């Protein structure tokens, strides 16, 4: 297939590609900037099929670099800028990264890398750009921890991104007025998939560095936006701002990261906000099961139906299984985890759910005990491993506690011995965990609730916080 960005420039050079900090740029302008950056990256030795890590934030430069790395045919490891140096170091080693491109604000998070500043000062060399894209090639890698707590690099091919974009358009439609507001991180699949759709559909990305609910509301009222991707906590923050419906051009408020509760749905209905609930993950290159607005109130708590090219089914043990061309071929350098993630060609989500008689999916437990905090996935076992490494801690269990601002935050229950020092534990957490993963509360208990077979009953611990 043709290089998507080059093809888009040929099809609609004068259409808007990016709006960032009020500045509009067309596909032609974006391409020119991307080509220049690609030349600088090329001068720095970056070549086709090489693994290059990118550590940036939602800004124009990071946006351009993502495209530039694709133009060169490099594989981009997307680093979450909220991770600690230690977490990042693990990913860089595990992915066998050759070079790291790092925003000036984050240079301390890597041992060596090319800063944006250094890159800008590099002299351009005419690069070898990929004219065509082999769809089976890996475009991006994103690490997720999974329930085992050990981070795994999810490979996303161009084919995955293509089918994700096509599946979405067959469900949500596409009009000449469309544009997608991206306030979710572009180093997450939620944000990166917006960039991919922009190129494939020929529509603008309104890129926001932070989720500022006042500013987002203004944009949704301006008529410039047709679609926005949000997670539950963002939606709740938006709804706290009083008002009626947004501009009629807003066609879709796409919700990921867990279904909305009834109160939220009622407000959306009253205010005529076209909420579209969905289910997806890094491994499915974003939404793969989606609930259209017309079914939102009939199917409260449902994530919807599998998009046209995809299928969902429930295994005998209740696990949600998925099939479709947007699903990852597997985990980087981790054949064991890949083999474990599939059964008879179906991807095992690790989530428990059911389909109702009309085929709508209901997710009961999101990755058993995953904590979603402000759109970030937090895996309790990862935190438990860090805390458990402190020899004064005998046992530990981490669960989510509902939080007005973040949706959910991690809290820990521990059983300790005489040598325990809370200060030492806090230091351990700070060194090893991104701030959003550090338990907001640590409760010392005599023992943890367990099943007969000795498994910790996390649900019982969660109940302590909801009472």
Strand segments, DSSP code E, in 270-325 are: 275-281, 286-291, 302-306, 311-314, 319-323
Residue closer to a second copy, measured from CB, 264 or 285: 285
Contacts of residue 137, Cβ cutoff 8 Å, sequence gap at least 6: 49, 73, 75, 157, 158
| Least separation in angstroms between CB 162 and a second copy | 9
Residue closer to a second copy, measured from CB, 295 or 403: 295
170 part of the interface to a second copy, by CB under 8 A: yes
| Least separation in angstroms between CB 8 and a second copy | 8
Considering only 339, 359, 364, 389, the residue that binds a second copy (CB under 8 A) is 359
305 part of the interface to a second copy, by CB under 8 A: yes
Question: Residue 343 and residue 177: Cα distance in Å, rounded?
Answer: 42
Residue closer to a second copy, measured from CB, 175 or 443: 175
**Total residues contacting a second copy (rule CB under 8 A)?**
23
Considering only 107, 174, 267, 314, the residue that binds a second copy (CB under 8 A) is 174
Question: Residue 249 and residue 176: Cα distance in Å, rounded?
Answer: 11
Q: Which residues of 126-141 are buried (b: 16+ CB within 10 A; e: fewer)?
A: ebebbeebeeeebbbb
7 part of the interface to a second copy, by CB under 8 A: yes
Burial of 233 (0-12, 13-18, 19+ CB in 10 A): buried
Q: Give the other-Cβ count within 10 Å of 1's Cβ.
A: 11
136 part of the interface to a second copy, by CB under 8 A: no
Residue closer to a second copy, measured from CB, 42 or 201: 201
Binding mask 47-66 for a second copy (x = CB under 8 A): --------------------
Task: Reduce the DSSP state of residue 96 to 3 states and report it.
Answer: coil
Annotate 256-281 with DSSP letters as a single string.
ESSPPPHHHHHHHHHTT--EEEEEEE
| Least separation in angstroms between CB 312 and a second copy | 10
314 part of the interface to a second copy, by CB under 8 A: no
Residue closer to a second copy, measured from CB, 325 or 388: 325
Best CA proximity match to 16, nearest among 5, 26, 8, 7: 26
Task: Reduce the DSSP state of residue 188 to 3 states and report it.
Answer: coil
Question: Residue 447 and residue 235: Cα distance in Å, rounded?
Answer: 38
297 part of the interface to a second copy, by CB under 8 A: no
| Least separation in angstroms between CB 317 and a second copy | 23
Which residue is associated with the tokens 């999810």?
154
176 part of the interface to a second copy, by CB under 8 A: yes
| Least separation in angstroms between CB 289 and a second copy | 11
Q: With CB under 8 A as the contact rule, which of the stretches 229-237, 240-248, 307-315, 365-373 interacts with a second copy?
A: 307-315
Q: With CB under 8 A as the contact rule, which of the stretches 87-95, 151-159, 308-316, 400-408 interacts with a second copy?
A: 308-316
Q: Which parts of this chain interact with a second copy (CB under 8 A)? A: 1-2, 7-8, 10-11, 166, 169-170, 173-176, 178, 200-202, 305, 308-309, 311, 325, 359
């Amino acid at each position: 297939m043709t290089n998507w960005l080059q093809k888009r420039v040929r099809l609609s050079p004068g259409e808007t590609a990016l709006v960032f900090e009020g500045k509009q740029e067309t596909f032609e302008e974006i391409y020119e900037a991307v080509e220049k950056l690609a030349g600088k990256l090329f001068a720095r030795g970056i070549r086709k099929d090489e693994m290059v890590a990118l550590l940036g934030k939602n800004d124009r430069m990071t946006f351009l670099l993502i495209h530039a790395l694709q133009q060169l045919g490099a594989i981009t490891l997307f680093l979450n800028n909220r991770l600690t140096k230690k977490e990042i170091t693990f990913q860089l080693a595990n992915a066998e990264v050759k070079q790291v491109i790092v925003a000036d604000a984050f240079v301390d998070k890597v041992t060596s890398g090319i800063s944006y500043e250094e890159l800008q000062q590099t002299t351009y060399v005419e690069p070898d750009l990929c004219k065509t894209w082999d769809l089976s090639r890996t475009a991006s890698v994103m690490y997720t921890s999974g329930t085992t707590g050990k981070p795994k690099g999810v490979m996303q091919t161009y084919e995955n991104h293509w089918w994700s974009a096509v599946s979405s358009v067959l469900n949500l439609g596409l009009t000449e007025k469309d544009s997608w507001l991206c306030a979710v991180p572009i180093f997450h699949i939620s944000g990166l998939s917006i960039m991919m759709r922009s190129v494939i559909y020929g529509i603008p990305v309104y890129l926001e560095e932070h989720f500022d609910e006042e500013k987002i509301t203004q944009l949704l009222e301006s008529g410039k936006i047709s679609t926005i991707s949000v997670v539950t906590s963002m939606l709740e923050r938006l709804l706290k701002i009083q008002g009626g419906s947004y501009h009629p051009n807003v066609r879709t408020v796409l919700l990921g990261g867990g279904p909305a509760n009834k109160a939220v749905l009622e407000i959306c209905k009253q205010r005529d906000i076209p909420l579209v609930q969905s289910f997806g993950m890094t491994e499915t290159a974003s939404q793969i099961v989606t609930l259209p607005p017309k079914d939102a109130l009939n199917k409260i708590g449902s994530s919807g139906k599998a998009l046209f090219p995809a299928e969902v089914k429930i295994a005998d043990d209740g696990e949600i299984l998925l099939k479709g061309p947007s699903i990852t071929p597997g985990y980087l350098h981790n054949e064991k985890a890949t083999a474990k993630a599939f059964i008879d060609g179906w991807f095992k989500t690790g989530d428990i759910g059911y389909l109702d008689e009309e085929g709508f999916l209901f997710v009961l437990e999101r990755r058993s005990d995953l904590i979603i905090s402000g759109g970030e996935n937090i895996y309790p076992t990862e935190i438990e491993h860090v805390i458990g490494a402190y020899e004064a801690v005998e046992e530990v269990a981490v669960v989510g506690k509902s939080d007005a601002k973040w949706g959910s935050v991690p809290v820990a229950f521990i059983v300790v011995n005489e040598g325990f020092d809370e200060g030492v534990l806090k230091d351990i957490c700070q060194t090893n965990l991104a701030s959003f993963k550090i338990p907001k509360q640590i409760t010392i208990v005599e023992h943890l609730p367990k099943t007969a077979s000795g498994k910790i009953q996390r649900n019982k611990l969660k109940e302590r916080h909801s009472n």
